[in-house]
């Protein structure tokens, strides 16, 4: 069957037509990206996409949404749209739908993606375990964390979590200094304050203060750009430090969730820093768990490189929720 799959964030709404084959395999058309600020509501964006597709769309939709999906009204943090699940069929003219959190969708993508959609980061060079628990972590604007359990039957279950909001635990003097800087603004410092994209600014400013260097105010995009290009040695050091801290957090999440079948780093930021993850101290920090270091060394850690995991995962979630969806 065909359906519309949508990945909705604060700035963009990405649309594609997904096809679910009889064997459950999912293929997608080339995605189209619409700007949320150009549309008064999701319904008008849907109508725009429908016109771009010649005036008709499949009668099913899967939506991955950047935010909580429970309740009678779904609100977005960074755009004025709202979605009322009870009215989706009427407003969009569909018969079936699925709505999932965006990172829950990413975990569905991890469960369904082929082995060639992953890059090896650390641990044994073997595929993710076909059964048991896996942890999925995605540094982006925030820090997404999900739990994936694969049944021996081949079925799987996904749980969205708020693991990005556990307490940050510094491991050296530099991280002590980062924590001290953040504590000036936040009574409680979560790992999201240190290993999400915007955190690179605080890391950069902390390193500058430690070296007594005056650096210009800049946003996270500028720091990432200078650091990844090697144009600024301090920014490059901030990128390495980010990777170290991400390794520590990923290891903590695996221990907490029992994700011993594998850990997957997801998201656009993870992909952009893939070379830094492989050459920094990410691997050492991931395994540095004291008495559990030998256990951590047995966990394969991968980076998913699927170009649209949100869209793909939303379609996979629809397929899971609607058994017989190929009919």
Binding site, annotated residues for ATP: 6-11
Separate counts of helices (H) and strands (E) for the chain? 12, 14
- For residue 254 the two structure tokens come to 């695996």
- For residue 64 the two structure tokens come to 């991955």
Size of the chain, expressed as the number of residues it contains: 327
61 sits in which H/E element: strand 60-65
Report angle CA 104, 224, 221 to the nearest 5 degrees. 80
Q: What are phi and psi of 40, to 5 degrees?
A: -70, -25
Annotated binding-site residues read: 6-11
CA proximity to 53, closest of 9, 105, 5: 5
- For residue 268 the two structure tokens come to 């656009």
326, 19 contact by CB (below 8 A): no
- For residue 69 the two structure tokens come to 């999906």
310 vs 8: CA distance, rounded Å: 9
110 sits in which H/E element: helix 102-112
4, 15 contact by CB (below 8 A): yes
- Cβ-based neighbour number of residue 113 at 10 Å: 21
User: What are the CA-CA distances from residue 134 to residues 107, 129, 251, 259 (Å)?
Assistant: 9, 8, 12, 4
Bin 54: left if φ > 0, else alpha if -120 < ψ < 50, else beta. left
260 vs 305: CA distance, rounded Å: 21
């Amino acid at each position: 069957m065909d359906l519309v799959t949508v990945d909705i964030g604060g700035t963009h709404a990405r649309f594609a037509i997904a096809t679910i084959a009889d064997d459950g395999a999912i293929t997608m058309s080339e995605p189209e990206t619409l700007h949320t600020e150009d549309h008064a509501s999701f319904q008008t964006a849907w109508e725009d996409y429908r016109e771009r597709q010649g005036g008709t769309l499949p009668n099913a939709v899967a939506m991955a949404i950047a935010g909580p999906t429970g309740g009678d009204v779904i609100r977005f943090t960074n755009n004025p749209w709202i979605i009322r699940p009870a009215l989706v069929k009427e407003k969009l003219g569909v018969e079936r739908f699925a709505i999932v959190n965006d990172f829950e969708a990413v975990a569905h993508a991890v469960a369904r993606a082929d082995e060639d959609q992953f890059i090896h980061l650390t641990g044994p060079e073997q595929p993710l375990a076909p059964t048991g628990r896996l942890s999925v972590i995605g540094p982006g604007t925030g820090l997404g964390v999900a739990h994936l359990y694969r049944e021996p039957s081949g079925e799987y279950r996904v749980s969205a979590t708020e693991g990005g909001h556990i307490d940050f635990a510094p491991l050296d003097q530099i991280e002590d200094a980062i924590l001290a800087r953040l504590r000036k603004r936040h009574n409680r410092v979560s790992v999201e304050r240190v290993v999400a994209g915007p955190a690179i600014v605080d890391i950069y400013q902390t390193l500058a203060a430690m070296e007594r260097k005056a650096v210009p105010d800049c946003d996270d995009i500028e720091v990432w750009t200078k650091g990844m290009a090697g144009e600024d040695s301090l920014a490059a050091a901030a990128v390495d430090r980010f990777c170290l801290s991400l390794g520590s957090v990923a290891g903590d999440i695996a221990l907490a969730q029992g994700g011993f079948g594998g850990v997957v780093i997801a998201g656009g930021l993870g992909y952009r820093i893939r070379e830094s993850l492989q050459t920094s101290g990410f691997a050492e920090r991931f395994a540095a768990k004291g008495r559990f270091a030998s256990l951590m060394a047995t966990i394969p850690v991968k980076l998913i490189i699927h170009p649209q995991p949100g869209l793909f995962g939303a379609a996979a979630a629809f397929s899971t929720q609607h058994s017989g969806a190929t009919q």
